[in-house]
Amino acid sequence: MIYFSEVYTGSSEIRSSNHRGSDIRTVGNSLIVGAVVDGLAVDKSRNLLFYTDAGNKRIVAMAPDGTGLRVVATNVDQPRGLALDKKAGVVYWTDWGVTPKIEKANYDGTNRQTITSTGLKYPNGIALDVAAGLLYFCDGGTQTIEVMNTDGSNRKVLYTDFGSHFFGITLTSKYIFYSDWNKFGIMRLNRDGTNQTPAGPESFRKINGLYAYESSYTQ
């Protein structure tokens, strides 16, 4: 099953489809009024779908069928990207608001922490390598792709492109894939930030979220 958001003026819907893109259904009928959904992530084993709600400044969880909606975190200024540590039951998100930051909390909202809040402008996409204990993110303002430990330590810049507007990011065992609104396509890097190359034609408009599937690799 594939899940995605549709954002309208002042509201959003969360929808699902099969892997062929058909059988599209609205699953977020119970979204909080005024919701603006950017980031989505699903933990199938726990039957949970998490999303960022910039309209109501919240991180929210519900079942993938739209039932059981509950608020995980409030007072999140401009939440955008979202990633899950499914083993530990921890949700991570980016916030590009007045004080840009990257935060995390347990699935139930407890133990909320700011991981990093320095040197950020518009932190957008976020991706985890749970096995390695690494968090990758891209910043559309600083025009960097960075990596750090999941506790915020050992942070370093992997790649800089001053003509870019980075947005979505995802990982495979060997590569980083990211979307660039200024290049209208999806780009690829080695995991160490080297060898940037287009991953397909630059024929899109503004690609937001990305997800890569590799049967031998679990994020």
- CATH at 176: 2.120.10.30
Mean per-residue pLDDT over the chain, rounded: 90
What mean pLDDT do residues 131-148 have?
A: 97
pLDDT cut 90: percent of the chain above it: 65
Residue 170 lies in a domain: yes
Which helix (H) or strand (E) is 37 found in, with range?
Answer: strand 37-43
pLDDT at 29 exceeding the cut of 80 = no
pLDDT at 18 exceeding the cut of 90 = no
Residue 217 lies in a domain: no
**Domain total of the chain:** 1
Residue 55 lies in a domain: yes
Residue 145 lies in a domain: yes
Residue 51 lies in a domain: yes
DSSP E strand boundaries for the chain = 2-8, 11-17, 25-26, 37-43, 48-53, 58-62, 70-73, 79-85, 90-95, 101-106, 113-116, 123-129, 134-139, 144-149, 156-160, 166-171, 175-180, 185-190, 197-198
What mean pLDDT do residues 103-111 have?
A: 98
Residue 79 lies in a domain: yes
Residue 140 lies in a domain: yes
Domain containing residue 117: 38-198
pLDDT at 218 exceeding the cut of 70 = no
Give the model's confidence band at 219: pLDDT under 50 very low, under 70 low, under 90 confident, else very high: low
For 46, phi then psi, to 5°, come to -105, 5
Residue 207 lies in a domain: no
> What pLDDT, on a 0 to 100 scale, did the predictor assign at position 12?
76
Give the model's confidence band at 15: pLDDT under 50 very low, under 70 low, under 90 confident, else very high: confident
User: Among 15-24, 100-109, 125-134, where is mean pLDDT lowest?
Assistant: 15-24
